[in-house]
C-alpha cells in the first residue's frame, strides 16, 4: 500500500488517530513561532484534514491547503464547509501546485517524514514564500521505531535537527532555528508489544 492509499484509507478516522498521536500544543507552537497576522495568506502542506489550517482560520488567515490524498482533503472540505477562505489543492510536496512567492507563511506538520525527498520538499516550500515570509515545519526527531514504517507508512524514522537546519539553509532561508516543541508523538503498535514516544521539533526560517 502506498502512502497515498494509506491516507485515503484512514481519512475518515484521522481526527481520532491524530488526537492519540499528538496534541493541539504542537499547532499552537508552530503558529506562535510563525507570528502570524490576520488577513495574510498561508499554505498548509500535507494538510490532511486541516489540523494546522483550523488554527490559521481561527486567527483570520486565508489558507491554501495541499495534500496528496483526495480523501483527506474531502474530510477537511466537509469540516470547513461554511468557510470560504480555504483553497483545496491535490498535489505533491516535492512539486507544489502553487506559484512562486505568493504566500506569507508555509506550514508542514508531520508531513516531512512521509515525503520521498525531504530537502526537495523544503526547497519547494521556500519557493512559494514571499520575501520575508516564514516556513515552519513540525516533525519527529530521529527515532528507532520501525513499526511506524509498516503500520503508518512513515518513510523516514524522523530526522536529525542538524540535517533539517542544513536543508533550510540550502533552500536559501535565513534566521533558521530548530528547537523542541516540548511535546511527544505517541503510538502503540498494533500487536501491542511496542509503544513509541518520539519528541517533536519545530524548524523555522525566513526568506
Ligand atoms: C501524518 S498526516 C498529517 C496531516 C496534518 N498535517 C495533521 O497535522 O493532522 C501526513 C499528511 O501528509 C500527506 N502527505 C504525505 N506525503 C505527501 C506528499 N509527498 N505530498 C503531499 N502530501 C503528502 C498525507 O496524505 C497526510 O495527509
Model pTM? 0.96
What pLDDT, in 10s, does the model give residues 121-162?
999 999 999 999 999 999 999 998 777 788 788 899 999 999
Q: At what angle do helices 51-58 and 24-34 cross, to 10 degrees?
A: 50
65 lines ligand 1 (CB under 6 A): no
Which residues, 6+ apart, have CB-to-CB distance to 105 below 8 Å? Answer: 34, 36, 40, 41, 42, 43, 61, 129, 133, 134, 135, 136
What pLDDT, in 10s, does the model give residues 20-65?
888 999 999 999 999 999 999 999 999 999 999 999 999 999 999 9
46 lines ligand 1 (CB under 6 A): yes
Nearest atom, ligand 1, residue 18 CA: 9
Amino acid at each position: 500500500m502506498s502512502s497515498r492509499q494509506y491516507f485515503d484509507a484512514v481519512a475518515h478516522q484521522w481526527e481520532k488517530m491524530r488526537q492519540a498521536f499528538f496534541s493541539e500544543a504542537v499547532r499552537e507552537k508552530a503558529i506562535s513561532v510563525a507570528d502570524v497576522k490576520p488577513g495574510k495568506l498561508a499554505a498548509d502542506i500535507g494538510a490532511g484534514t486541516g489540523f494546522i489550517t483550523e488554527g490559521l482560520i481561527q486567527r483570520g488567515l486565508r489558507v491554501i491547503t495541499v495534500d496528496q490524498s483526495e480523501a483527506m482533503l474531502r474530510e477537511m472540505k466537509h469540516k470547513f464547509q461554511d468557510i470560504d477562505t480555504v483553497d483545496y489543492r491535490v498535489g505533491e510536496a516535492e512539486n507544489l501546485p502553487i506559484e512562486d512567492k505568493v504566500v506569507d507563511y508555509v506550514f508542514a506538520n508531520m508531513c516531512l517524514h512521509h515525503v520521498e525527498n525531504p530537502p526537495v520538499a523544503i526547497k519547494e516550500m521556500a519557493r512559494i514564500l514571499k520575501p520575508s515570509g516564514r516556513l515552519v515545519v513540525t516533525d519527529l526527531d530521529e527515532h528507532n521505531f520501525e513499526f511506524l514504517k509498516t503500520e503508518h507508512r512513515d518513510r523516514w524514522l524522523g530526522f536529525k535537527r542538524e540535517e533539517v537546519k542544513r536543508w533550510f539553509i540550502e533552500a536559501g532561508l535565513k534566521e533558521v532555528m530548530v528547537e523542541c516543541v516540548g511535546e511527544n508523538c505517541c503510538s502503540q503498535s498494533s500487536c501491542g508489544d511496542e509503544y513509541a514516544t518520539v519528541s517533536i521539533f519545530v524548524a523555522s526560517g525566513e526568506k
